[in-house]
């Protein structure tokens, strides 16, 4: 057919592969290529030139490669993990497991490039894996890679990739084994959430709050910024627990949490340290007038009646406030300062707030030193009787 097309002028030259029978009865594969170089006045071909090559060895090798490729693909097809084979980024093979995972057909897999199935957030990671595998560096081969993929329906999947290179039909290819680890990632996220958030209120716990506080200190130190910390303690929460029970108390804490979140900006952090203690991290705010207005807003929102199962509860709070870097630049000291200011607010009466001052720290230190001295004096028998009045109760 190729020769006929050329002779009739429908092709500039002809080339084809065919088998020829040899004298000894064996067959050889021949490759022929040529063209007409002389035609008659009527266009009939008079003379042709061309070449003929024995390609039997090449055909045998190609057949062996095809058989090897077919065996490999048959093996990969039965794997429970998803498998893709890519040449220059184009998917040339996919097994049933990856088709089920991505909710697509084999034809659809071949229609798209491998990177088309990668989630936008993971494209840089995929690019790094793909390039390093093509270049033969150790990055792609030496470890498992975790990234996000997208199914045909848009469902996000966390997968683990194992990438290796191989030769298929004489071409460099990438074999990508894909394992679904979405459940593992969900479990990890659940464990992380349980370790960093309060189960009752859903607020960050002490551990996460301190982590955010440390990060805010670093950020503000670099940028020359300011922020404040508030320590909030409910004044009469113990009475609710004692008289109404812990179930009522838990619902009160949940309502207080909602009111605190409704009192601050999205950029602020509200956390529950435990019991009836809450903290606020307020980036970019350190002016006393603004902080006082915020504290009054919080106290007002908390003071509104809380209705639970037909019972009305009235709750108030005491708030201590400290500022970075005015008061201190250390996380532990900021927490101590806010705590001391909160106790100062309690001494002033319920539903109040107080700013930290160095005097509070000195008074607290003096009180602790006095308590330590008294304990030591008792232990060392340093007390003595200086005066004892004698009283007649009858007269």
Residue spans of alpha helices (H) in the chain: 2-7, 56-77, 96-102, 106-111, 123-135, 138-141, 182-196, 206-223, 237-244, 246-263, 288-303, 331-347, 358-379
Residue 319: predicted pLDDT: 98
Neighbouring C-alpha atoms within 13 Å toward the C-beta of 389: 3
* β-pair type (82-87, 277-283): unpaired
CA–CA gap between residue 168 and residue 352 (Å, rounded): 77
Residue 68: predicted pLDDT: 46
Which domains are assigned to the chain? 2-54 (3.30.450.20), 75-184 (3.30.450.20), 197-379 (3.30.70.270)
Token pair 């592969």 in the structure block, residue: 17
Q: pLDDT tens string for the chain (395 positions)?
A: 777 787 777 888 888 888 888 888 888 888 888 888 887 887 788 888 888 888 777 666 565 555 545 655 665 676 788 888 888 888 888 888 899 999 999 899 989 888 999 999 999 998 888 887 777 655 545 467 899 999 999 999 999 998 888 777 667 788 888 999 999 999 999 999 999 999 999 999 999 999 999 999 999 999 999 999 999 999 988 888 888 888 889 999 999 999 999 999 999 999 999 999 999 999 999 999 999 999 999 999 999 999 988 888 899 999 999 999 999 999 999 999 999 999 999 989 889 999 998 876 667 677 777 888 888 888 888 888 888 888 988 88
Contact between 280 and 269 under an 8 Å Cβ cutoff? The reply is yes
Contact between 110 and 94 under an 8 Å Cβ cutoff? The reply is yes
CA–CA gap between residue 118 and residue 240 (Å, rounded): 53
pTM of the model: 0.66
Name the β-bridge partners of 72: none
Token pair 């503000």 in the structure block, residue: 220
Among residues 235, 276, 327, 339, the one annotated as catalytic is 276
Question: With 0-12 CB in 10 A as exposed, 13-18 as middle and 19+ as buried, what is 273?
Answer: buried
276 is a catalytic site residue: yes
Residues in the chain: 395
Three-class SS state of 83: strand
With CA atoms as reference, report the closest residue to 156 among 124, 188, 180: 180
């Amino acid at each position: 057919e190729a020769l006929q097309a050329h002779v009739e002028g429908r092709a500039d030259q002809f080339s084809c592969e065919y088998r020829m029978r040899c004298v000894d009865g064996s067959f050889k594969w021949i490759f022929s290529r040529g063209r007409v170089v002389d035609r008659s006045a009527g266009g009939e071909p008079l003379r042709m030139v061309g070449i003929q090559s024995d390609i039997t060895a090449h055909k045998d090798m190609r057949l062996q490669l095809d058989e090897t490729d077919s065996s490999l693909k048959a093996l990969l097809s039965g794997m429970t993990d998803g498998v893709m084979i890519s040449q220059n980024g184009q998917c040339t093979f996919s097994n049933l497991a990856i088709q089920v995972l991505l909710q697509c057909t084999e034809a659809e897999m071949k229609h798209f490039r491998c990177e088309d199935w990668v989630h936008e957030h993971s494209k840089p990671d995929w690019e790094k894996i793909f390039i390093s595998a093509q270049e033969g560096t150790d990055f792609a081969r030496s470890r498992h890679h975790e990234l996000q993929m997208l199914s045909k329906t848009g469902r996000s999947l966390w997968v683990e990739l194992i990438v290796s290179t191989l030769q298929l039909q004489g071409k460099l290819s990438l074999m990508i084994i894909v394992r679904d680890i979405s459940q593992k990632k969900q479990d990890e996220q659940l464990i992380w959430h349980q370790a960093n958030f309060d189960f009752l209120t859903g607020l960050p716990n002490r551990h996460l709050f301190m982590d955010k506080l440390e990060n805010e200190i670093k950020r503000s130190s670099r940028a020359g910024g300011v922020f404040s910390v508030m320590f909030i303690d409910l004044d009469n929460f113990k009475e609710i627990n004692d008289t109404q029970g812990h179930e009522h108390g838990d619902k009160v804490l949940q309502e207080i949490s909602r009111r605190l979140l409704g009192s601050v900006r999205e950029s602020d952090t509200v956390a529950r340290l435990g019991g009836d203690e809450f903290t606020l991290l307020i980036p970019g705010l350190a002016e006393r007038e603004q902080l006082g207005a915020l504290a009054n807003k919080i106290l007002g929102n908390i003071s509104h009646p809380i209705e639970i199962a037909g019972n009305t509860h009235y709750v108030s709070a005491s708030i201590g406030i400290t500022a970075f870097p005015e008061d201190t630049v250390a996380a532990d000291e900021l927490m101590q300062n806010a705590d001391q200011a909160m106790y100062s607010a309690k001494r002033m009466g319920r539903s109040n707030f107080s700013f930290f001052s160095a005097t509070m720290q000195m008074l607290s230190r003096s009180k602790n030193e006095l308590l330590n001295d008294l304990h030591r004096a008792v232990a060392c028998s340093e007390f003595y009787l200086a005066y004892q009045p004698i009283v007649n109760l009858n007269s």
